[in-house]
Amino acid sequence: MRLDKLLAQGAGLSRSDAKKAVREGRVRVDGQPESDAGRKIGEGRTVSLDGQAVGRPDGLHLMMNKPAGVLTAARDARARTVMDLLPEGARRAGCMPAGRLDKDTEGLLLLTTDGEMAHRLLSPKRGIAKEYRARVTGTLGKCDVAAFMGGVRLKDFTAKPAALTILESGGQTSLARVVLHEGKNRQVRRMFSALGHEVTALERLRFGPLTLDAGLPKGGWRELTAEELAALREAVSLG
């Protein structure tokens, strides 16, 4: 978003007043004076006017391709977290993960400043679909597909019906796609384990209408497009 547009929408200025504020040296980007009102302000940048932070009018919403070995947490004294992969501006803006991926799971993670949207996306009542690709030990077959569809019984609950599609099967490992509508702790891993298969690699590919950007490197992130954000809001009836 152009700096003058961000100032206009985020600080309630007219575009001409926004440009004037920049010319007068009243605007800083990431703490440094900015003289170009037409500068494109990317995700995670902080903007201030007369020393006061200017927020993006629609908040900040990021897609991350979470790498394995990183915790989904705001902070941890002993381990690296997804927040450590973001610039300081995104952390200052209050951008937080919507839900969790366990430490060894990779793939799509949504981070947002919109707490209400995150709450609705995670609400069990809405049953937002989540899609994973899993590499597991052993040979998957029709009995596993049927078990997932029937609801796998675990120690503390019975999982709701989920779709299991076998992509590769045979030999020592198999590859599968899983779509489920709940997201309890380590659920995919536990469902496969209950059927005698250990998950050796797990990646989330989709969260509701949001699909992982295939061009995003592990540990990389980008701001959601307007279309992606609109689709998420529509999925949880936020218009």
Q: List the catalytic residues.
A: 102
How is residue 155 written in tokens?
């120690």
- How far apart CA 220 and CA 87 sit, in angstroms, is 11
The Cβ of residue 146 has, within 10 Å, a number of other Cβ atoms equal to: 10
Tally of CA atoms within 13 A in the half-sphere of 144 that contains its CB:
24
Residue type for position 208: G
Residues 135 and 142: their CA atoms lie apart, in Å, by: 17
As given in the structure block, the two tokens for residue 77 are: 């004294």
Q: Is 39 left (phi over 0), alpha (psi -120 to 50) or beta?
A: beta
